[in-house]
Amino acid sequence: MAILFQQDEKIFTLQTKQTAYQMKIDDFGYLLHLYYGGKISGSMDYLLTYYDRGFSGNPYDAGSDRTYSMDVLPQEYPTTGTGDYRNSALVIRNHDESECCDLRYAGHEIRTGKYGLPGLPAVHANSREAQTLEILLEDVVNGVRVRLLYGVLEEDDIITRSAQIINQGTGSVVVEKAASVCLDFVTGDYDLVSLYGRHAMERNMQRTPIAHGSQVIGSRRGSSSHQYNPAVIVADGNTTEDSGSCYGMVFVYSGNFLCEAEKDQYNQTRILMGLQSELFHYSLKEGEILTVPETILSYSDRGFGGLSVKYHHCIRDHVCRGVYQNSPRPVLVNSWEAAYFQFNGETICQLAKDAAELGIDMVVMDDGWFGKREDDNSGLGDWQVNETKLGCSLAELIHKVNDAGVKFGIWIEPEMVSEDSDLYRAHPDWAMLNPRRNPVRGRNQLVLDFSRKEVRDYIFEQICCVLDQGNIEYVKWDMNRSLTDVYSTENQQGKVSYDYVLGVYDFLEKLTAKYPHLLIEGCCGGGGRFDAGMLYYTPQIWCSDNTDAVDRLRIHYGTSFFYPMSAIGAHVSAVPNHQTGRNISLHTRGIVAMTGAFGYELSLGRLTKEEKEQVKDQIRQYKTYERLISGGDYYRLSDPFRDSYAAWMFVSEDQRTVLLHVVMLEIHGNMTVSYVKLRGLLPDASYEETESKKCYQGSALMRAGIPLPVEMKEYPAYQFIFQVKG
Ligand code: GLA
């Protein structure tokens, strides 16, 4: 049993293979948090302490007991208005404009299987893999109920949390803020590890001590954003890549989010993850429900590396879905950096012929094939094939590509509209803007109000009409600006940003149901919506618009803290690189792109004969190790922001096959030698390096490492394969 309830002590314990989570209903009906971390047994309520704390209020129920205060006690779902002055998980504005919600235990249920969330992505697991705990809390004055949902995936060391806010009272209430998880720590000094970035340089890692006050990351951009990823780690100060204690929180949502880390007056730490409270005032009429997206929690006492392996397994096996969840992805060539908007049908056919010659599986026709779209200033919303530009119908083009022995994929950006488009001229009110103001433009385009069903339905029909024209086996779903003017002519204003994201999910759910064999790759100006929410619908996401191999290995490094390699779209592009101007060898570019769902993004026709041979080799190599790259355990072996080399490795489930990738980042005169230490091997096994045929003991590779070559050139890369013999 992964979920236990001790009736006498009123304690809930959630057990996974290596972790435990405990909470208690106290004498006043408050749900107090007791413990989360490595496995323990017995009651942890001895951790609670009670002292008279000046200026920390006491609930009326406590009578004259001044030692009982919500301002100090660790809680599962703290709310504003109860005497807890720390950050709240829930803020309710009542019918009478007061801001208070006093939640007490009202019941619970333990079920087999994992709960699902209406309209939202969530971890999925069968009845053998998961159990659900549902705890009902209620404020008897305003009638607000909160259903706290806990999913326990015992074997995976995963606990998920979500919350549903239900208005059971009379009159409406407004949800001003709602988190899905609160983690209170009564003791300890922690660091917050978060991923910050910008367009074309996403998910850099930042580690800062959690200090007094609040440290906040989040998004108000409508998407989860390039700037902050909705996933954090709370780590002990001495936690490293392979040792020490750390907790992860991954928000399964693709829109505005808020993560707050706070050290309080008694040095206790509170972490909240949930919906962004700005641009959000979610009014609930009697009987209505708001579902807060879920957060995936995990804990590791083996450092960040141990935590990442758990998240990779969870996201690959329990978030991603569909036929491509665990099957090889096609190696593709994308037309964007090959031709940008300057292509016709012949260009695509030629790309297909070149692709076939090299062993590439698929050609993707990127932006520019529809409406009036010679550049990025017009045409979005007009999803009619520009046959004049292509010189043929889409069906004919796909036939030609397929005849060349190559699959066909296409780019779309369904959520957007250009002012210069027939759609905008016909339905200006479908764009998200306030009719009293000029809208803020982004990439000279506006966002369609996907919170409105009629808008989604129309675009859905248009996109299906395109997909039905031929054998389209892949779609790149792009989203190239942030939301502003969050205003809807139909919807209630405070609901728009949330309902927009649910609209996108609704569209994707319908699309994946109608075209179950279609591979969809998410994209948002590269990696601006790289989150577990999107991965529920699109098993891979274009990781960044930056294809420079050195920048990319850093972007992959940050992304790998939470997201599996199978989710990372990574392509070899031309040199000098279009984003940085850097010249990096084809060999190194190949090794960096072989970290994820591999492909090319350049004009294949411009490759020399030698380069073509190299590309063929890369594809052969990738296909040989594809299962290991997408499904093996992944370890970061260096910090490419600080170390002189970048190294990462993949290990098979049986730990007998290892793929090690290294890129040297620095070269100096009279160079010192770097040694890279491997991880996750069988200590007593003998590993043969397949090229040199040299054998090394697993523990030697892990404890002492191997010396890396010193070569007089920039950014040389190495691929080592180790295999246990016999
Ligand atoms: C975004 C994507 C690119 C490309 C362009 C097309 O920037 O991230 O890969 O598809 O849009 O306009």
The Å distance, Cα 526 to ligand 1 centre, comes to 7
> Do the beta carbons of residue 36 and residue 247 sit within 8 Å?
yes
Does 411 sit in the ligand 1 pocket, CB within 6 Å?
Answer: yes
Atom 4 of ligand 1, nearest CA residue? 336
Question: What torsion, rounded to 10 degrees, do the Cα atoms 182, 186, 192, 194 define?
Answer: -10
Q: Is the pLDDT of residue 546 over 80?
A: yes
Ligand 1 pocket residue status of 376, Cβ below 6 Å: yes
Pairing of strands 228-236, 190-198: antiparallel
Cα 296 from Cα 318, distance rounded (Å): 11
pTM higher than 0.85:
yes
pLDDT exceeds 80 at position 716: yes
CA–centroid distance, 329 to ligand 1, in Å, is 20
- Distance, CA of 146 to CA of 79 (rounded, Å): 11
- Tell me which residue of 544, 533, 619 sits closest to 577, measured CA to CA: 544
Neighbours of 8 (CB within 10 A): 6
**Which ligand 1 atom is the nearest neighbour of the CA of 476?**
10
Distance (Å, rounded) from C-alpha 200 to C-alpha 308?
23
Cβ partners under 8 Å of residue 51, min gap 6: 67, 72
Q: Give the DSSP letter of residue 363.
A: E
Neighbours of 610 (CB within 10 A): 9
**What's the rounded Cα separation, in Å, for the pair 564 and 324?**
14
**209, 237 Cβ separation under 8 angstroms:** yes
Indicate if the pLDDT at residue 491 is higher than 90: no
Say if ligand 1 is within 6 A of residue 688 CB.
no
pLDDT digits (tens, 9 = 90+) for 18-52: 999 999 999 999 999 999 999 999 999 999 999 99
| Residues assigned a catalytic role | 531, 611
Residue 303 corresponds to which amino acid? G
> Is pLDDT above 90 for 1?
no
Q: pLDDT tens-digit profile of 119-167?
A: 999 999 999 999 999 999 999 999 999 999 999 999 999 999 999 999 9
Q: How far away, in angstroms, is 252 Cα from ligand 1 center?
A: 24
Q: Where do the domains of the chain lie, and which CATH numbers do they carry? A: 3-318 (2.70.98.60), 645-724 (2.60.40.1180)
Distance 342 CA to ligand 1 centre (A): 14
Confirm if 201 and 544 have CB atoms less than 8 A apart.
yes
What's the rounded Cα separation, in Å, for the pair 175 and 161? 18
| Predicted local confidence at residue 110, as pLDDT | 98
Q: What is the pLDDT of residues 356-413, one digit of tens each?
A: 999 999 999 999 999 999 999 999 999 999 999 999 999 999 999 999 999 999 999 9
Nearest to 419 by CA among 406, 408, 433: 433
In the reported structure, the alpha carbon of residue 546 is separated from the centroid of ligand 1 by a whole-number distance in angstroms of: 11
Residues in the chain: 726
- Give the pairing type, strands 597-601 and 568-573: parallel
Q: Is the minimum distance from the CB of 542 to ligand 1 under 6 angstroms?
A: yes
521 CB within 6 A, ligand 1:
no
User: Is 525 a pocket residue for ligand 1 (Cβ < 6 Å)?
Assistant: yes
Determine if the peptide bond prior to 576 is cis (ω within 30°).
Answer: yes
477 Cβ closer than 6 Å to some ligand 1 atom? no
Give the ligand 1 atom nearest the CA of 523.
8
**Ligand 1 atom index nearest CA of 366:** 10
Mutate to test the pocket of ligand 1, among 199, 337, 378, 545 (most ligand atoms within 8 A of CB): 545
SS3 at position 453: helix
DSSP for 529-587 reads T-SHHHHTT-SEEE--S---HHHHHHHHHHHTTTS-GGGEEEEEE-SS-TTT-----HH
Q: How far is the CA of 375 from the centre of ligand 1 (A)?
A: 12
With residue 232 as reference, give the H or E element that holds it: strand 228-236
Does 283 have pLDDT greater than 90?
A: yes
Using 50, 70 and 90 to split pLDDT, how confident is the model at 429? Answer: very high
Give me the mean pLDDT over the 529-544 stretch: 98
* Separation CA 89–CA 84 (nearest Å): 11
Question: Does ligand 1 have an atom closer than 6 angstroms to the CB of 337?
Answer: no
CA distances from 132 to 2, 39, 113, 153, 180 (A): 9, 19, 6, 9, 15
CB 77 within 8 A of CB 137: yes
